């Protein structure tokens, strides 16, 4: 299976998945740390993928979403954005609303 197919499977088999540097307990970059905190403040369950563990994932996900940076958030298979967009959506309540709608 190609890396793009593997990524598609990960993205589509998790309601919420964050591709980040490090893991939620030990984020390895400020932006990944902020993204993790935002999801934790939304009190949502989420899967995380440490892109530092595998360079083909690190590069492959950028191609998958046509987005050059990490972290990257996906909800129900849809690319939501990076840290900036997550912060903006969190501040205006859009992100929590979207996540809460998953639980119902």
Partner 1 sequence: MVTPEDIKGWIEAGLEDCQVEIDGDGHHFEAVIVSPEFTGKSRIAQHQLVYGVLGDKMKAAIHALSMKTLSPEEHAAAQD
Length of the chain in terms of residues written: 104
- DSSP-assigned beta bridge partners for residue 24: none
101 is a contact residue toward partner 1 (CB under 8 A): no
Q: Which stretch binds partner 1 (CB under 8 A): 1-9, 37-45, 49-57, 83-91?
A: 83-91
Choice from 31, 46, 64, 90 touching partner 1 (CB under 8 A): 31
Q: Residue 32: name the closest of 45, 15, 50, 44 by CA.
A: 50
> Which positions ≥6 away from 70 have C-beta within 8 Å?
19, 20, 21, 29, 31, 32, 51, 58, 61, 62, 82
Instruction: By CB under 8 A, tell whether 84 contacts partner 1.
Output: yes
Shortest gap between Cβ of 83 and partner 1 (angstroms)? 7
The helix/strand/coil state of 28 is: coil
Q: Which of residues 42-71 bind partner 1 (CB under 8 A)?
A: 66-70
User: Does residue number 88 form part of the binding site for partner 1 (CB under 8 A)?
Assistant: yes
Contacting residues toward partner 1, per CB under 8 A: 29, 31, 66-70, 79-85, 88
């Amino acid at each position: 299976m190609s890396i793009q197919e593997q990524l598609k499977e990960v993205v589509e088999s998790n309601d919420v998945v964050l591709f980040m540097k490090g893991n939620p307990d030990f984020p390895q970059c400020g932006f990944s740390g902020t993204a993790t905190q935002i999801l934790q403040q939304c009190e949502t369950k989420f899967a995380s993928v440490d892109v530092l563990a595998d360079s083909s994932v690190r590069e492959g996900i950028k191609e998958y979403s046509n987005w050059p940076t990490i972290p990257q958030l996906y909800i129900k298979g849809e690319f939501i954005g990076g840290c900036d967009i997550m912060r903006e959506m969190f501040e205006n309540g859009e992100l929590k609303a979207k996540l809460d709608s998953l639980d119902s």
